[in-house]
């Protein structure tokens, strides 16, 4: 399947990154967001990110006009009319995402693949909101999209082989490496990462060691670039809690229960780097 035109719905942190990398890889892309000012903010984020890549020598300055020329913006989902591939990257809210899938199903080309960047909503459920469940798939990019090599591809219960192949081809064209996951809570990365971060919260809660020593131990003892509490601060403690709750509820096993300390920090509004305070201060 040759992808000529693509749409990315949601121009936030993830959507703008996905649109940027698509435009860099030669795809004509329309970035869509319904919130006032969101597409302009998305475009500004893309320009800033590309500028940084130029400074680092990763993108030739001469290519900028062509990359930006492949990027269009729109303020309604129907601006995805006739696209061959759509990636939904709106707020993590199931009813809102289902509305977007219904509309994409109505306007995208009949053969188009409809992908979701959701971190936690079952692909099978989003697919059921459309009349083309075989053409719906999960395409879970990592943050920040222009720098992170991985895309988790998630096959819903009804996803066809052709849809899977088209998605892997697009991810490769975007310079990404894919892994395949079944449609279960947390997919691969969050299924393994979040319990580790949550365990670090339990260790801190129990007074096993200080936050500094927990992070130092994991950084130097397991060769990770960042300790688990600092990583949780960077992801956002509210996001970590939300994913822990999805694992706990979706997998039905108490081993995934969120740490009460994590919950208390979120209640206090200490959400990590974005609020200046989490397990560390910023
Ligand atoms: P964000 O809040 O930065 O952006 C979401 C955007 O969606 C906003 O600009 C909002 O205006 C827009 N939006 C909301 N409803 C819309 C609608 N009906 N139509 C069009 N646009 C709409 O969020 P984000 O961090 O970019 O996350 C987006 C998705 O990516 C979520 O599903 C999230 O779970 C997933 N994700 C996030 C990360 C991460 O680290 N932030 C990583 C992987 C996946």
| Beta strands 85-88 and 28-32, pairing class | unpaired
The architecture of the domain spanning 5-182 is 3-Layer(aba) Sandwich (3.40)
* Residue 213 alpha carbon to ligand 1 centre in Å: 34
Burial of 97 (0-12, 13-18, 19+ CB in 10 A): buried
Judged by DSSP in three states, 183 sits in coil
For 37-48, the pLDDT digits (tens) are 999 999 999 999
The pLDDT assigned to 72 comes to 98
Name 252's Cβ contacts closer than 8 Å, sequence gap at least 6.
none
Best residue among 9, 12, 151 to mutate for probing ligand 1's pocket (most ligand atoms within 8 Å of CB) is: 12
The pLDDT assigned to 4 comes to 86
* Residue 15 alpha carbon to ligand 1 centre in Å: 7
The pLDDT assigned to 215 comes to 98
Residue nearest to atom 9 of ligand 1 (CA): 12
191-273 topology per CATH: 1.10.1040
Output the CA angle 76-29-88, nearest 5 degrees.
55
CA–CA separation, 269 and 258 (whole Å): 17
CB atoms within 10 A of CB 58: 12
Domain positions in the chain are: 5-182, 191-273
Q: Which atom of ligand 1 is the closest one to the Cα of 118?
A: 32
pTM summary value: 0.93
The pLDDT assigned to 98 comes to 98
Residue nearest to atom 40 of ligand 1 (CA): 143
Residue nearest to atom 3 of ligand 1 (CA): 12
* Residue 144 alpha carbon to ligand 1 centre in Å: 13
Phi, psi dihedrals of residue 5, rounded to the nearest 5°: -125, 140
Best residue among 10, 44, 154 to mutate for probing ligand 1's pocket (most ligand atoms within 8 Å of CB) is: 10
**For ligand 1, is residue 35 a contact (CB within 6 Å)?**
yes
Residues of the chain with pLDDT under 70: none
For 115-163, the pLDDT digits (tens) are 999 998 999 999 999 999 999 999 999 999 999 999 999 999 999 999 9
The pLDDT assigned to 260 comes to 98
The pLDDT assigned to 120 comes to 87
Report, as residue numbers or ranges, the catalytic residues: 119, 140, 152, 190
Q: Which atom of ligand 1 is the closest one to the Cα of 93?
A: 32
Phi, psi dihedrals of residue 226, rounded to the nearest 5°: -145, 140
**For ligand 1, is residue 15 a contact (CB within 6 Å)?**
yes
Name 7's Cβ contacts closer than 8 Å, sequence gap at least 6.
29, 30, 31, 32, 74, 79, 80, 83, 85, 86, 87, 104, 108
Element housing 173 (H / E): helix 161-173
**For ligand 1, is residue 76 a contact (CB within 6 Å)?**
no
Domain 5-182 identical in fold to domain 191-273: no
User: Beta strands of the chain (E only): which ranges?
Assistant: 5-9, 28-32, 71-74, 85-88, 113-116, 136-141, 150-155, 177-182
Judged by DSSP in three states, 272 sits in strand
The pLDDT assigned to 155 comes to 98
The pLDDT assigned to 99 comes to 98
């Amino acid at each position: 399947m040759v992808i000529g035109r693509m749409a990315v719905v949601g121009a936030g942190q993830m959507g703008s990154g996905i649109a940027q990398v698509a435009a860099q890889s030669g795809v004509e892309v329309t970035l869509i967001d319904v919130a006032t000012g969101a597409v302009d903010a998305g475009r500004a984020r893309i320009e800033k990110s590309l500028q940084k890549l130029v400074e680092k020598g990763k993108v030739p300055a001469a290519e900028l006009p062509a990359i930006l020329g492949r990027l269009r913006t729109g303020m309604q989902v129907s601006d995805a009319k006739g696209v061959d591939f759509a990636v939904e990257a709106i707020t993590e809210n199931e009813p809102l995402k289902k509305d977007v899938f219904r509309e994409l199903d109505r306007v995208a080309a009949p053969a188009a693949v409809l992908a979701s960047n959701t971190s936690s909503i079952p692909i099978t459920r989003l697919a059921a909101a459309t009349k083309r469940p075989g053409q719906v798939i999960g395409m879970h990019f990592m943050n920040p999209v222009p720098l992170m090599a991985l895309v988790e591809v998630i096959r819903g219960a009804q996803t066809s082989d052709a849809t899977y192949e088209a998605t892997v081809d697009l991810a490769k064209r975007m310079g990404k490496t894919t892994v395949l996951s079944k449609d279960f809570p947390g997919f691969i990365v969050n299924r393994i990462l979040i319990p580790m971060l949550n365990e670090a919260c339990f260790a801190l809660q129990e007074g096993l060691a200080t936050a500094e020593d927990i992070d130092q131990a994991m950084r130097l003892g397991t060769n990770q670039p960042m300790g688990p509490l600092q990583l949780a601060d960077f992801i956002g403690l509210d996001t970590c809690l939300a994913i822990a709750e999805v694992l706990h509820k979706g997998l039905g096993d108490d081993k995934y229960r969120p740490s009460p300390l994590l919950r208390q920090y979120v209640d206090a509004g200490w959400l990590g780097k974005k609020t200046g305070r989490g397990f560390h201060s910023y």
